[in-house]
């Protein structure tokens, strides 16, 4: 059986020291589910808070804050602050509320954010706006995460590696 200490020791230093993790997630996608699970595991081991960056909300044409039928009830935010369970439900994103509840059930503090930008620009804005010191993305979005914050990439087999070309997080040095 693997202990919490063993799991922590196998993580790259940037993951062990992270206090706020931005994880790229979405609705009903296995790559995002694997990525989210890795982020929740790391956060549960380190005590970091998680920001759920909703990749499925990205659009060049639609404002995600106006998509819900009662969006006006979500006062004081239009991308400026993080959203709790109730706010994302109001905006018509029940899957994000479920993800926040999933995090809570694992002892992880989580909130969500809907970007007004897409790709690298959106991820970078979320990381800088909310002082994330680590970003975790699925392998398919690796190029979108080439920003000024350390990035962990979760492959299709669930292996976690530090940016392109680095060793998997579960490999021993």
Parallel, antiparallel or unpaired: strands 160-162 and 151-154: antiparallel
Mean pLDDT comparison of 11-20, 126-135, 143-152, highest-scoring range:
126-135
Query: Is there a contact between 82 and 50 (Cβ–Cβ < 8 Å)?
Result: no
In a domain, 21, yes or no: yes
In a domain, 117, yes or no: yes
In a domain, 41, yes or no: yes
Residue 155, burial from CB neighbour count under 10 angstroms (0-12, 13-18, 19+)? middle
Q: Where are the alpha helices (DSSP H) in the chain?
A: 4-9, 13-17, 30-46, 85-90, 94-105, 119-129
Mind listing the pLDDT tens digit for each residue in 13-69? 888 889 999 999 988 789 999 999 999 999 999 999 999 999 876 554 555 556 544
In a domain, 8, yes or no: no
Number of domains comprising the chain: 1
In a domain, 1, yes or no: no
In a domain, 167, yes or no: no
CATH, residue 146: 3.40.50.620
Residue 34 belongs to what domain range?
A: 16-162
Q: Name the 3-class secondary structure at 3.
A: coil
């Amino acid at each position: 059986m693997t202990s919490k200490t063993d799991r922590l020791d196998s993580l790259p230093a940037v993951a062990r020291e992270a206090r706020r993790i931005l994880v790229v997630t979405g609705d009903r996608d296995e790559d995002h589910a694997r990525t989210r699970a890795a982020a929740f595991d790391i956060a549960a081991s380190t005590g970091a808070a998680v920001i759920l960056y909703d990749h499925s909300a990205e659009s060049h044409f639609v404002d995600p804050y106006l998509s819900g039928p009662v969006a006006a009830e979500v006062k004081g935010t239009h991308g400026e602050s993080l959203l709790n369970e109730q706010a994302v439900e109001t905006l018509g994103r029940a899957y994000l509320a479920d993800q926040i509840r999933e995090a809570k059930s694992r002892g992880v503090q989580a909130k969500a954010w809907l970007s007004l930008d897409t790709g690298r620009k959106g991820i970078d804005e979320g990381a800088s706006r909310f002082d994330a010191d680590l970003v975790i993305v699925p392998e398919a979005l690796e190029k979108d995460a080439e920003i000024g914050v350390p990035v962990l990439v979760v492959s299709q087999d669930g292996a976690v590696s530090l940016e392109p070309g680095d060793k998997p997080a579960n490999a021993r040095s």
